[in-house]
Amino acid sequence: MVRIAALDDETCWIETLREITQEFFEQREDDEYEFFGYTNTEKFLFDMEERREYDIVLLDMEMNGTDGLKIGRKVRLGHPEATIIYVTNYVDYAVQAYEVNAFRYIPKCMLKEKLPEAYTLLVEKLKTREKKFFSIHNNDKMMKIPEDSIYYVQKEKKYVNVVYVDKEERKEKVRMTLAEAYDRLTKQDFLYIDRSCIVNIMHIMALENRKVKLRNGIYLDISQPQYANVRRQISDYWSNRG
């Protein structure tokens, strides 16, 4: 089941997106979908905060004074696994859209051609995506944290701090070594930036002055021995994404 949300302040465009989506999935008998159309930004954000999960989010860039880029940041913060596609008449914002790792930026005049192309790529990816969790067994506490919600894991003496997002930023302190934590994670998604810190590569937004900037705004130092490897892995990830 592919869950798609669309936010645009004009009802006619929501209906256009709905029709294109319906036509696409009618041609794919084995794929099911749900479409949620919003013309109200507050309602959309409320549903997101209530943990309604969407696989694909279609956003306009400007809606009655609302900045689509800000909405994209909120989507990315609360639902890092969601794929964002901007559909808009404002082509001047195309470069800015990639600040939130947007998958595509589609002018509205090209929707009928380009949106099905994007859907084709994304539906195939979603079929192979499996939700992965980092399990914690700590004295009287047991929990599972979705890997894609983890920002970083940092060593603190005999413990590690797992920093992640669940509506808001949280931290769990667990008694284990950093190497043990790394072994439990999906290795292609996480990288050492120094001997005391592992970072989720999907949350890296910039590489500046030998630091990584994460999606939550924090900067973490990269050690000299790890710098070349970190730079290469980030470059490869950004090049291959989408």
CATH number at residue 112: 3.40.50.2300
Give tens-digit pLDDT for 210-235: 999 998 889 999 999 999 999 999 88
In the beta sheet, which residues pair with residue 162?
Answer: 153, 172
The residue ranking higher by pLDDT, 241 or 200, is 200
51: pLDDT strictly greater than 90:
no
- What is the pLDDT, as a whole number, of residue 29? 79
Tokens, residue 129:
């995506």
Domain boundary among 97, 128, 159: 128
Task: Flag whether the pTM goes above 0.85.
Answer: no
Q: How far apart are CA 19 and CA 80, in angstroms?
A: 27
Helices and strands per DSSP (H, E), number in the chain: 7, 17
CB 85 within 8 A of CB 58: yes
Are 74 and 163 within one domain? no
Are 79 and 181 within one domain? no
Are 116 and 152 within one domain? no
CATH number at residue 155: 2.40.50.1020
Are 6 and 120 within one domain? yes
Are 175 and 64 within one domain? no
Q: Looking at residues 142-163, what average pLDDT do you find? A: 93
Are 104 and 142 within one domain? no
Q: How far apart are CA 204 and CA 235, in angstroms?
A: 11
Structural domain count, the chain? 2
**Boundaries of domain holding 79:** 2-128
